[in-house]
Structures are given as C-alpha cells and as structure tokens.
C-alpha cells in the first residue's frame, strides 16, 4: 500500500470478500456432512490465513474454534511442508487442538510460480466420535488416551490423493467409521471450495492487491482495539469464577484472572488458577486465546474485522502447570466446552468492574454436553453428540435471551425431528424452563427442559456444569438457577445424575436435562 491506508470503502469490500469466502466454506461443510452435530447444530468453523499463518478472516462460526485454529495452522506449518494438493489433519491439544473430537484440516494454496503457499485455508469440525473409552469421546476420562485418536500434524492428502495409512489410523479407531469418513469428505469439499474462490479473487484483483489488503485488515483491527482500550480507564481488575468439579474429584476448580489496562494495551494474567484437573476439564493456551479474542470482539463498540490483528495489543499470561496449561497427557474433552465458558465468565467478571455499563451478567456457563451411543435395529453402532442451550445473562437495558447457546459456542439447537430420525429416541418434552433466569431490573434468560425417552438400550455421558452455583447476576441482579439432570426410570424410580459422568438407558427410561438460566442485571425497581 506504499505506506498509505486503504480507503474505508475499499477496505470494507475486501473484508466482505474474505468473510464471504469463509462463510461459503462453512455452508459447503454443513450441507455435505453426515452427522446431525454438523448438519443441524453447525458445530464447525472455517477461516482464511495469509502466507505466515495469520488469520485474515473467519466465518461467523464457533468462537472456541476460531481463536485457537491459528495455533493448529502454525503447528502444521512447523511440522510439515505442505505441497500443492496436500491437506494436513490435526487434533492434538499440544498442536493447537482443543479437544480430540475437533478435527482440523489445513491446506496451503499455491499460486503460479510459487514454491511456498501464498495463503492457507483451514476448517474444524466436531466429530460425533473419535474413539476412546466412551461413545461420543466426551466422557469422564482421566487421561488423553482414554478420549480417542490423537493426531499430531499428519497428511490426510498428498498431492490430492488420500494418504491411506492416515485414513486407516483415523477410521479404524472410531465406532462409526462411515459417518467419520463422510464428515471428513465434507471438510475436504469445504477446502476445495475455498481454494476455488480464493483463486478467483486472485484472478480478479491480483495477488499483490489481496496481500496488501490482508495486511491492512490486520492493521485496521489492531488500531480498532487500541482505540477501544484508550477509552477505558487505566487500572487493574481481578475476578475468580468456579467450576463445580471435574467428575473425578469432588473439588471446586477456580479460574482466576487479572486484567490490567494501560493506555493502548491490555494484559490478561491467569496466575493463581487451579492446577491440572484429574478429570477431563483441562484446557490449553489455545482455548484461553479463543476466550480473550471472543471477549474483545463482544465488547468492541464497533464491528471490527475478526482477524489476528485484534490480539496485537494484548499480552496473555497462562501459568504452566495450571488447568489452563497442564502439560501433555491430561484429559481435555471438557476444557474446550466447559472450562472455556468459565474463562469467559472470569474475563467478563473482571471487565465488568472497568465497564459496568457494557458487560452483561453471566450466561448459563456450560454447554450441557450430551453423548449417546448404542446399536440400531440393523445392529450397526451409532454415536450422537449435542449441546443443550440455556439462558443468556441480562445486560444494562437488555433482558437475557432464553434457550440460546452463548459465548464460546455459536451452535444451533438440534431439532427434535433430527434427534428422532438419527436415534431410537422419542422426545417427550422440549421447552423453556420458566423462571430459571435470575431476577432483576432486566431478568436473565430462561434455560431449557429437554426430556427424551429411550426406545432401545443406550449408553450415554453427560459433561455439564453450573449444577452447584448459578450464573452470577450483576448490579444487584440475582443469580440464574442451577441446572438439574435426572433419569426417570420406566418403573417410576427417579435417579439424580451427577453433572459429569456416564449412564445407561433401557427402553422406556427418560432422560431429563434442565439447563441453567442466565443471571439478572440490576436491582428490581
């Protein structure tokens, strides 16, 4: 750009072009996948990266995916030299992965005459099973290897052809190989779509223009965050929030953060956070990065481009040996879905002290992860995964939304028709959990009640939180109600379920999940 900034209209145009590319990738992935988790819930994410692996644009997909995917791209670039037609797959938490069911595919895009990729494309999708001790790969494991197939960066395609050993390794270790193969094919189709669109942009505008606009979009996002930070008073604020337990030890887990704002910069320091979890709630710095990126985007007064420039003014300190950076081998299934939510709650709790008129009360703070497995009438195994929505926290002047996925998840609710079509289940009840949102001048949103009846023997796992402490209110608003889970046996016996654990259903048994409501904001007048 010869040292000059792009005109706002031109910058907006290229931002829209890059975002549309990522969104089209997501649409192809969702429409061609097999599993309800991707097709119905849209549990996937797509993004575009420059030659250095920096995020240029991302689709409006999963925050917990999008903030961590650049670390997977970096891990692939470090481990492999991706040639034309090569695609890598990775899910290793030590290589930018979040938890094992999230398989990330990375591709380099070569332009004419290049000996290195000019751009990179990546997509991540949550697969309904990647092996491990429990169906759905989301159970109360105590180490990483109980959770499924671990994939450091390896080639899935080489020169456009399948790498047979990689496919065998993945598909032989899962319960539903045909569905996994179909979902991986959908991810590959999304990458091919992204490559075609990217090449068409190069043909229309030229690579020099695209590369220059990529740099300007990164710089613009960084300027926007610095301007936002200038408008916030300097200071240091801390907050601690608690996870109920890890499903193995009945001990609370504390996520602590101190946010320090100075001029145009901010530091997020998680010192004092609890050590590694014996159960599956361990996270990693990639998840912390995602949570901070999400919070910045959510609180920005203007709609800034979602790219890596947002984190340029930000310093992140994650203590090694904590639940947020436990080291190799620890179980991580819940770190992506439960601990990530509590990291967001802690960040917002700290920032509420600096921005009392902009930060909402806590939302449900859990994804209520439900995994089910069994055999169909034909004897073939099935696996199924979904998250259950809850109440959003109210904000100044705004009631909390009811029955919605919040913060680190951006998924849809699974339609009952899809649930009944995929599994031997019958839905008995599905609606709002009236009165579960915290009271206040602006009340929190209500959670959901989801009751399903088993029509065949089914094994299941539940990974949830906010069952002991409700989501907090703000400015005098009351806490939302805690979640409740139970099995109503066909013979009339009612069994209360722990928030994290395994269970069995026989025909006629009913599983009931009542998700938490959001916190209220402001004292009632």
pLDDT of amino acid 419: 87
Reported confidence tier of residue 33, pLDDT bands at 50, 70, 90: very high
pLDDT of amino acid 348: 97
* Nearest CA-CA partner of 49 in 12, 79, 29, 75: 75
CA 154 – CA 173 distance, rounded (Å): 16
Task: Tell which wins on pLDDT, 396 or 524.
Answer: 396
CA 97 – CA 72 distance, rounded (Å): 6
Name the percent of the chain lying above pLDDT 70: 99
pLDDT of amino acid 276: 97
Assign 14 to helix, strand or coil.
helix
pLDDT of amino acid 362: 98
Section 319-336 average pLDDT: 95
**What pTM was estimated for this model as a whole?**
0.94
Of 51-55, 102-106, 297-301, 334-338, least confident by mean pLDDT is 297-301
Q: Is 318 left (phi over 0), alpha (psi -120 to 50) or beta?
A: beta
Section 496-509 average pLDDT: 96
Q: Crossing angle for the helix pair 8-32 and 177-205, nearest 10 degrees?
A: 150
Q: For the segment 241-294, what is each residue's pLDDT rounded down to a tens digit?
A: 999 999 998 888 999 999 999 999 999 999 999 999 999 999 999 999 999 999
On the question of pLDDT at 61 being above 80, the answer is no
pLDDT of amino acid 2: 43
In eight-state DSSP terms, residue 336 is I
Q: For the segment 480-492, what is each residue's pLDDT rounded down to a tens digit?
A: 999 999 999 998 9
On the question of pLDDT at 515 being above 60, the answer is yes
Q: Are strands 102-109 and 55-58 parallel, antiparallel or unpaired?
A: unpaired
In 120-206, which residue ranges form alpha helices assigned H by DSSP? 164-171, 177-205
Q: Are 347 and 362 in contact (CB under 8 A)?
A: no
pLDDT of amino acid 400: 97
Section 127-143 average pLDDT: 92
Q: Token pair of 407, please?
A: 């913060």
Phi, psi of 334 (to 5 degrees): -90, -10
CA 422 – CA 39 distance, rounded (Å): 12
Assign 108 to helix, strand or coil.
strand
């Amino acid at each position: 750009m010869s040292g000059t900034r792009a005109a706002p209209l031109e910058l907006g145009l290229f931002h829209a072009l890059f975002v549309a590319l990522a969104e089209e990738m997501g649409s192809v992935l969702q429409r061609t996948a097999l599993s309800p988790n991707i097709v119905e819930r849209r549990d996937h994410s797509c993004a575009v990266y420059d030659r250095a692996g920096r995020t240029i644009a991302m689709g409006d997909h999963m925050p917990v995916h999008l903030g961590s995917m650049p670390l997977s791209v970096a891990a692939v670039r470090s481990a492999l030299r991706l040639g034309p037609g090569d695609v890598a797959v990775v899910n290793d938490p030590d290589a930018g992965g979040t938890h094992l069911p999230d398989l990330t595919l990375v591709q380099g895009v070569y332009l004419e005459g290049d000996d290195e990729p000019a751009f990179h494309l990546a997509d991540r999708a949550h697969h309904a099973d990647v092996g491990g001790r429990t169906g759905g790969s989301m159970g109360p494991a105590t180490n990483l290897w109980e959770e499924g197939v671990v994939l450091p960066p390896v080639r899935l395609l080489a020169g456009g052809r399948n790498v047979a050993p990689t496919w065998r390794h993945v598909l032989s270790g899962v319960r539903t190989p045909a569905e996994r193969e179909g979902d991986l094919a959908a991810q590959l189709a999304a990458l091919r779509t992204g490559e075609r669109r990217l090449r068409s942009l190069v043909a229309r505008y030229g690579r020099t223009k695209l590369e220059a606009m990529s740099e300007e979009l990164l710089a613009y996002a960084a300027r926007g965050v610095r301007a936002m930070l200038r408008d916030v008073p300097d200071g240091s604020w801390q907050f601690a929030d608690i996870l109920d337990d890890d499903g193995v030890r009945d001990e609370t887990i504390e996520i602590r953060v101190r946010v320090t704002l100075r001029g145009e910069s901010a530091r997020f320091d998680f010192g004092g956070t609890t050590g590694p979890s014996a159960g599956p709630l361990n996270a990693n710095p990639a998840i912390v990065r995602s949570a901070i990126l999400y919070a910045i985007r959510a609180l920005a007064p203007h709609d800034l481009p979602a790219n890596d420039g947002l984190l340029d003014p930000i310093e992140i300190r994650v203590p090694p040996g904590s639940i947020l950076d436990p080291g190799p081998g620890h179980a991580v299934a819940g770190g992506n879905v439960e601990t990530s939510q509590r990291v967001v709650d802690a960040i917002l709790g700290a920032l509420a002290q600096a921005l009392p008129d902009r930060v909402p009360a806590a939302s449900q703070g859990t994804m209520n992860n439900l995994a089910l497995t069994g055999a169909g009438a034909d004897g073939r195994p099935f696996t199924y995964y979904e998250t259950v929505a809850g109440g959003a926290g109210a904000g100044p002047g705004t009631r909390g939304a009811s029955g919605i996925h919040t913060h680190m998840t951006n998924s849809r609710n699974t339609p009952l028709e899809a649930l009944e079509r995929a599994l031997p289940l019958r839905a008995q009840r599905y609606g709002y959990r009236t009165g579960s949102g915290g009271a206040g001048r602006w009340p929190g949103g209500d959670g959901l009640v989801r009751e399903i009846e088993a029509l065949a023997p089914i094994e299941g796992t539940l990974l949830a939180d906010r069952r002991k402490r409700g989501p907090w209110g703000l400015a005098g608003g009351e806490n939302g109600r805690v979640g409740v889970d139970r099995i109503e046996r066909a013979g009339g016996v009612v069994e209360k379920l722990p928030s994290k654990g395994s269970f069995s259903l026989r025909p006629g048994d009913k599983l009931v999940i009542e998700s938490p409501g959001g916190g209220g904001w402001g004292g009632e007048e």
